[in-house]
Structure formats: structure tokens, C-alpha cells
Amino acid sequence: MSKYGWFGFLVCGAVWFGDILHPASIAVATSSVHAAEPAAHLEATVEIPRLNVSEYHRPYVALWIADQDRQVAANITVWYQLAGSREGEGTKWLPDLRQWWRRSGRGLEMPVDGVSAATRPPGEHTVKLAADDKRLAELAPGQYDLMIEASREVGGRELLTIPFTWPPRKTQTHDVQGTTELGKVSLTLTP
């Protein structure tokens, strides 16, 4: 596990990365009176399926919040190969996360504190954004999509979307079922 370790992204969430916000999403943010009242938080569970293939590599996975113009309102996490024989080696395959790369990745200096993390093995993995995480605290009320994109070496690519409304009025869980590179993904919003 790298220095951005297993839980690193949970505790480093407060690091601001406003430069990746698209102007459109900034406009949305400033047009509201103020973003979500205190304590709402977000938890996403991503299942990486166990695949019966002869050559298996852990997938690259990106989770982000997209606004209605498909611009990135917040980057939640990106799992990619952090270690390698040379510095930054694993970043070579980040563009395979096609949508994420276009919407956000290509404009980032990797690694990004609180976002970058190592690839995960098959199983369920939970990512939480705490209520005081700036990414949530500054998320303007409105309609969003949780985007989940996975791409695997010698494998395929899959993109899933979970639409949601922010902030939540009551605790809500939304699910989507992947078919190839992703299993079940669920999003729980807690007011």
C-alpha cells in the first residue's frame, strides 16, 4: 500500500482541489445562497467482481460527481497503479478511464492528495466523504450523477451512473448493477 494507503483518502478529504472544477460548476456553486446545510454525507460502495480469467490485473477505478453538464463537481477517488519501477509509471494507463480522463484526469497533476489511491482487489470497497469534506460542503444543491468508471488491463471498461439529488432530505440508498468490470455499486446519502 502506498503512502496514500487504504484509508488515506478518507482522512485527507479536506484538501482542496478547486482548480479541477470546471467554470460551469463554479457558477452553480456561487449562484446558490449556500451549499448544503451542515451534516449531510455520502458513502459509496463499489464491488469489484472476481473474474475467472487467465491473466488478471486489478482495474483502474474512478469515482466522481458530475453536474448536469457532465462537468466534474467533485473528484471522489481514483484507484490506479501507484507503485512501479519508475516514477509515475502507472499514470500511463489513466486515459483508459476515458470519461474521467476527459472530464478531470488530464488536467490533474497526479497523485492528488485525498483522491489518488492504489488499485483494489476483488470485493466490496467503501468510500466515504464526511460532512465537513470541502467537496461536499461546497456542493451546491441540485441534481448530480455519481459516475463510476472502471478499466482493466487485458480486460474491458465499464461506466456506471447513479443520479441523485443533493442535499438529501432523508437517508437514501441508490444502487446500480454493473455487468462486466463492476459489480453492484451503491450510494448512500445521509442528511
Partner 1 sequence: MLRVLIIPAVLAALCCSSAEAHRIWLRPSQTVLSGAEPWVTVDAAVSNDLFYFNHFPLGLDNLVITAPDGSKVEAQNQAVGKYRSVFDLPLEQTGTYRIAVVNQGLFASWTEDGERRRFRGSVDSFSEAVPADAKNLQVTESYGRVETFVTNGQPNGTALKPTGKGVELVPLTHPNDLYAGEKATFQLLVNGQPAEGLEIELIRGETRYRDAHDAQTLSTDNNGEFTVTWPEAGMYWFETSVQDKDTQIEQAQQRRMSYAVTLEVLPQ
**Site residues (CB under 8 A) for partner 1?**
86-89, 91-95, 98-99, 101-102, 105-107
CA distances from 95 to 2, 46, 59, 85, 150 (A): 21, 21, 13, 20, 11
C-alpha cell recorded at residue 75: 473528484
**What Cα–Cα distance (Å) separates residue 81 from each residue in 1, 67, 86, 165, 182?**
10, 28, 12, 32, 18
Quick one: DSSP state of residue 111? S
- Least gap, CB of 22 to partner 1 (angstroms): 13
Measured from the CB atom, the residue of 59 and 105 that comes closer to partner 1 is: 105
CB of 8 to partner 1, least distance (A): 22
Nearer to partner 1, 95 or 191 (CB): 95
Q: Which is nearer to partner 1, 105 or 167 (CB)?
A: 105
What 3-state DSSP class applies to 163? Answer: strand
DSSP letter for 51, please. Answer: -
At its nearest, how many Å lie between partner 1 and the CB of residue 172? Answer: 27
Q: Residue 56 or residue 93: which is nearer to partner 1 going by CB?
A: 93
What is the DSSP secondary structure assignment for residue 185, as one 8-state letter? E
Q: Is-cis flag, bond preceding 59, omega within 30? A: no
Shortest distance, CB of residue 106 to partner 1, whole angstroms? 5
Distance CA 45, CA 130 (A): 14
CB of residue 99 vs partner 1: minimum separation in angstroms? 7
C-alpha cell belonging to residue 95: 486515459
Nearer to partner 1, 93 or 164 (CB): 93
**What three-state secondary structure class fits 123?**
strand
Q: Minimum distance between the CB of residue 169 and partner 1, rounded to whole angstroms?
A: 32
Q: Which is nearer to partner 1, 3 or 170 (CB)?
A: 3
The alpha carbon of 177 is separated from its chain's Cα centroid by a whole number of angstroms, namely 17
